[in-house]
Structure 1
Amino acid sequence: MSKLKTNYLGIELRNPLIVGASSLTSNIDTLKAIEKAGAGAVVFKSLFEEQIQLEELELENELEEYNERHAEMVKLFPTLKHAGPAEHLAKLKKAKETLGIPVIGSLNAMHPDTWAEYAQAIADTGVDALELNFYTTPKDFEVEGKTIIQSQVEVLQSVKEKIKIPISVKLSPFYTNPLDVIRRFDETEVDGFVLFNRLFQPDIDIDKEELVQTIILSDSSDHRLPLRFTGLLYGNIAADICAATGIMNGNDAVKMILAGADTFQVVSTLYRNGIDHITEMLAQIEGWMNKKGYKSIDDFRGKLAKKNLHDPFAYRRAQYVDILLRSNDIIKTNALK
């Protein structure tokens, strides 16, 4: 599959398929299977600062539970210091030492001063690159959007000053103008963008009348949003583009590359179809390339990006108007099925 070779974040990959951060990428045996199946690279499961703080709080509560239980006792247990991210970093280092494909670290921090600290710790494991997950859950009516964006820009700058390995930013689509935000990040000379982060959304159990947490895997229809922005961004930013969300098969992946993606990430499709689906997806991409006569990924990357199309409405919402005008035909067609 030499014709699938590509570059991402300055790193040569044997193909553009990257397995995204998830529980799948935290187990060494699964990581070995992912490499054997043919993945070009892997993003190790994210280090969540919020989870670390929660674990530290739980441990502290457990240690305090038996304090002063007996009149002559001050503490039943000796004071212990929680290992914090040490276990995660040890697993990440082992993954890098074990695998022959590039390993990318992933970070979700909470506070401006801890982003750089944790980024340095991850970089010290020897990983090939670092993926920063930028998103903010709105919870304060008084905070302006520009304040959030500026804070993220400053975080990115502080991390770049701290570490020397390539950095990508995985973004949420929930900005007023994602293109403007991406442009600002691109001006900091970030190495790549991952489009987009699939965020948890709450649900309600109406029988129990309570909030519930459910995991909803993506499907092929979800790739249209990253496809749109990939097509708009190609040729207009210096950083690489990695498409994510809703890429379930080789055909979905080909669409992303035609729109201008350098690489793409998969997660949900592996939960649905198993690790061996990686091999099948790569075979589908190469089969399509052979059918079309393409010798390399570069031969068709960005061919259908907005920059390379003459259609003034390419990737614009105006295309939706045509669908609305044809809505009666669509309804009639579906009624006949």
Structure 2
Amino acid sequence: MIETRYCGLELKSPVIVGASRLTSDIDSIKKAEKAGAGAVVISSLFEEQIQLQHYRHDEDMVQYDDWHAEMTDIFPDLEYSGVDEHLVWVKKAKEALNIPVIASLNAVTQSTWVPWAKKLEEAGADALELNFYSLPTDPELTASQIEDEQVKIVQAVVKAVSVPVSVKLSPYYTNPLNIIKRMDAAGVEGVVLFNRFFQPDIDPANLKNDYRYNLSTGNEYQLPLRFAGLLSGEIGASICASGGIEKADTVKKQILAGADAVQIVSGIYRHSVDLIGEINDELKRWMRSKGYESIKDFRGSLDARHNKDPKIYKRSQYVRLLLNPWEYIVRP
């Protein structure tokens, strides 16, 4: 009843557990599957990890430069297996689950994206999620240069692998709709709206930088909702909403706006993995009450194309809210 199709994968539920510490060990991902998750996105592999492995490998090899060949083994005892362990972990995750396993890759350079996308595919991933988390630090780098490079990366990865490829993007593009359509044309089969950046903080009392894991809140769902509504029916790739997914009502809203699936992380941290089952059960009850037999029956029924007020997703609605705020305030 709540089956859906996302990124070329058949899911038994639209609820996907996003890449995080929640998907970094067998026990946790098996609990997610038992709770009713449609898929899991394995904790990300970062380019920094790969670079660190290469650095350690070079250091370990240099220490043998002055040794006679007979004084060492053929292969030195190298302690840099973190990245290789990640590939083994993907393989173990695939063997342990009956639901799709999506591998997340968070890189910067094309020389890393392509070979490691292939390695993750070879490890058994059912699909890939390219996580474009990269903050520009060069003021001379233009928006078009950044976007062109990302599209080239997508094209190269899609060409290199046979499994479906999705992208997880931030909302901080000049025109997110345009870059998403370009990536759709480049061959991605799924788009995750949106990536939540790490936000640094400062502790003024102790005069030091503060680093915290800030969970998303329930009111953050509206930004992906807006873009799901604008993209629905405009791209061939499936849509996954991410951010502020903490209850079944939010999942209903995202699907009505045009999402095929949702990703959840913070909600599980706050309420436990049982939240997945609660969302699935409530979604089924609501669908029966509305006479829906499948998600296809209502997905996108309130997107920008089908809404009775097509301006709801646009600037004119914003102006209306400012001019007549009392009509729209939700009171307790």
Unaligned ranges ≥5, structure 2: 67-75
8 A contact 1:258–1:302 mirrored in 2:
yes
Please name the residue that 2:72 is paired with: none
CA distance in 2, matches of 1:280, 1:81: 43
Within the alignment, does 1:287 sit opposite 2:285 as a pair? Answer: yes
Q: Give the 3 Å change call, closer, same or farther, for CA 58–126 of structure 1 in structure 2.
A: closer
Structure 2 counterpart SS, 1:208: coil
Displacement after TM superposition at 1:219 (Å): 1.4
Letter in 2 for 1:180: N
**Structure 1 contact 63–79 (Cα < 8 Å) conserved:** no
Paired position in structure 2 for 1:17 = 15
CA contact (8 A) 1:102 1:128 kept: yes
Q: Distance in 2 between matches of 1:261 and 1:83?
A: 38
User: Corresponding residue for 1:249?
Assistant: 247
Q: CA–CA distance in 2 between the matches of 1:94 and 1:164?
A: 20
Matched, 1:36 2:24: no
Distance 2:79 2:274 in 1: 41
The residue number in structure 2 matching 1:71 is none
The one-letter amino acid paired with 1:206 is P
Tell me, in whole angstroms, the C-alpha distance in 2 between the residues paired with 1:16 and 1:259. Answer: 14
Instruction: Note closer, same or farther for the CA distance 1:174–1:262 as it changes in structure 2 (3 Å cut).
Output: same
Matched to 2:176, the amino acid is: P
1:113 aligns with 111
SS in 1 for 2:166: strand
1:158 maps to which residue?
156
Deviation of 1:308 (Å): 0.9
Alignment pair present for 1:125 and 2:123: yes
TM-score (norm 1): 0.90
Match of 1:90 among 88, 91, 105: 88
How many Å separate the matches in 2 of 1:79 and 1:36?
40
Could you state the TM-score of these two structures normalised by the residue count of structure 2? 0.91
Name the SS of the counterpart of 2:305 in structure 1: helix
Q: CA deviation at 1:302?
A: 0.3
Task: Write out aligned runs for 1:263-274 (5 A).
Answer: 263-274=261-272
For 1:101 and 1:327, the matched residues in 2 are separated by: 45
Q: Which one of the candidate residues 201, 223, 240 is aligned to 1:203? A: 201
How far did 1:317 drift? Answer: 2.4
| 3-state SS in 2 of match to 1:107 | strand
Q: Distance in 2 between matches of 1:206 and 1:288?
A: 48
2:324 to 319, 326, 333: 326
Q: How far apart are residue 58 of structure 1 and its match?
A: 6.8
Secondary structure of the equivalent of 2:214?
coil
Identity %: 49
Distance 1:128 1:52 in 2: 22
Q: Deviation at 1:161?
A: 1.4
Q: C-alpha displacement at 1:81, in angstroms?
A: 5.9
Q: Distance in 2 between matches of 1:84 and 1:32?
A: 22
The answer (yes or no) to whether the contact 2:167–2:191 under 8 Å persists in 1 is yes
Name the SS of the counterpart of 2:152 in structure 1.
Answer: helix
Matches within 5 A, 1:138-177: 138-177=136-175
Any conservation in 2 of the 1:56–1:84 contact (CA below 8 Å)?
Answer: no
**CA–CA distance in structure 1, aligned partners of residues 279 and 327 of structure 2:** 35
Residue 229 (1) aligns with residue 227 (2): yes
The separation in 2 between residues aligned to 1:135 and 1:147, in whole angstroms, is 16
Contact 2:129 2:168 in 1 (8 A): yes
Aligned ranges 1:298-309 → 2 under 5 Å: 298-309=296-307
5+ residue gaps, structure 1, are: 69-77
Q: 1:6 to 1:113 in 2, by over 3 A?
A: same
- Considering only aligned residues, what root-mean-square deviation do their CA atoms show, in Å? 2.7
CA contact under 8 A between 1:89 and 1:125: conserved in structure 2?
Answer: yes
Aligned positions, number: 326
Who is 2:214 aligned against? 216
Superposed CA deviations along residues 64-112 of structure 1, whole A, max 9, x for unmatched, are 99x99xxxxxxxxx67362251001101100001101111111011211
> What is the distance in 2 between the residues matched to 1:275 and 1:37?
7
Distance in 1 (CA, whole Å) between partners of 2:159 and 2:56 is 34
- In 2, Cα distance between the equivalents of 1:247 and 1:328? 27
- Secondary structure of 1:4's match? coil
Q: Which residue identity lines up with residue 26 of structure 2 in the other structure?
A: I
Contact 2:53–2:83 (CA<8 Å) still a contact in 1? no
| SS of equivalent residue, structure 2 residue 311 | coil
Query: Displacement, 1:324?
Result: 1.7
2: CA distance, partners of 1:30 / 1:84: 20
**Cα offsets for 1:112-168 (capped at 9, x unmatched):** 111001000000011110000113302111000100000001111111111100000
> How much does 1:53 deviate?
2.6
